[in-house]
């Protein structure tokens, strides 16, 4: 599971929520359809990154679609205003739950990546005390791969490298390695210009 990619693909959906909520607040009649579209897009994204929570998003879409059906239970056709209100409420509740699902996934992924990044900081500190870290190359991927090989080759850092390799996808390992190396090689602000 590529945690960094999941976050990269899911985060833009959260940014799309503000205009939807503005439409709800303004009483835009297109709000429920816009909410359905947002949920459908989120579901597709979740499917593309193999998240099982996509099925709950599908259920949320169903709640909006059947909101007016609940009003028809008595046999009489409800007034149009009641149908509109029921769809708006169902759409607002679905968006609220959809946002909660997205934020939970993103937060969990970030916390997991941060834990591994903290461990990698310790390993890179140990590695820097043992050998010289290669300088950045034109190809970032080649540079990161070279540093990763170096981390795996040293007796004192090999257990950490094995642990990270077993715990994270290769893309995530390089993602956090780049973050750690970026901090390690950044100029110290106290050194001045």
Say which residues have a Cβ less than 8 Å from residue 124's Cβ, sequence separation at least 6.
Answer: 133, 151, 177, 180, 181, 184
SS3 136: coil
pTM for the model: 0.84
- pLDDT per residue as tens digits for the range 119-134: 999 999 999 999 999 8
DSSP single-letter state for residue 133 = P
For residues 177 and 139, is the Cβ–Cβ distance under 8 A? no
pLDDT category at 192 given cuts 50, 70, 90 is low
- pLDDT per residue as tens digits for the range 73-82: 666 777 888 8
DSSP-assigned letters across all residues of 54-116: HHHHHHHHHHHHTHHHHHGGGSSPPPHHHHHHHHHHHHHHHHHHHHHHHHHHHHHHHHHHHHH
């Amino acid at each position: 599971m590529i945690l960094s990619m999941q976050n990269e693909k899911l985060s833009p959906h959260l940014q799309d929520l503000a205009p939807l909520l503005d439409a709800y607040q303004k009483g835009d009649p297109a709000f429920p359809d816009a909410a359905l579209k947002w949920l459908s897009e989120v579901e597709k994204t979740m499917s593309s990154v193999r998240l099982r929570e996509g099925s709950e998003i599908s259920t949320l879409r169903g709640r909006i679609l059947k909101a007016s059906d609940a009003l028809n239970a008595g046999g009489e056709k409800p007034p149009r205003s009641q149908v509109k209100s029921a769809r708006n409420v169902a759409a607002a509740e679905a968006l609220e739950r959809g946002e909660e699902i997205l934020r939970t996934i993103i937060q969990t992924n970030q916390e997991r990546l941060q834990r591994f990044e903290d461990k990698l900081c310790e390993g890179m500190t140990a590695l820097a005390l043992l050998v010289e870290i290669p300088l950045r190359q034109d190809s970032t991927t080649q540079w990161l791969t070279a540093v990763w090989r170096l981390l795996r080759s040293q007796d004192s850092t090999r257990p950490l490298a094995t642990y990270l390799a077993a715990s994270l996808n290769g893309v995530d390992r390089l993602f956090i390695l780049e973050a750690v190396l970026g901090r390690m090689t950044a100029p110290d602000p106290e050194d001045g210009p």
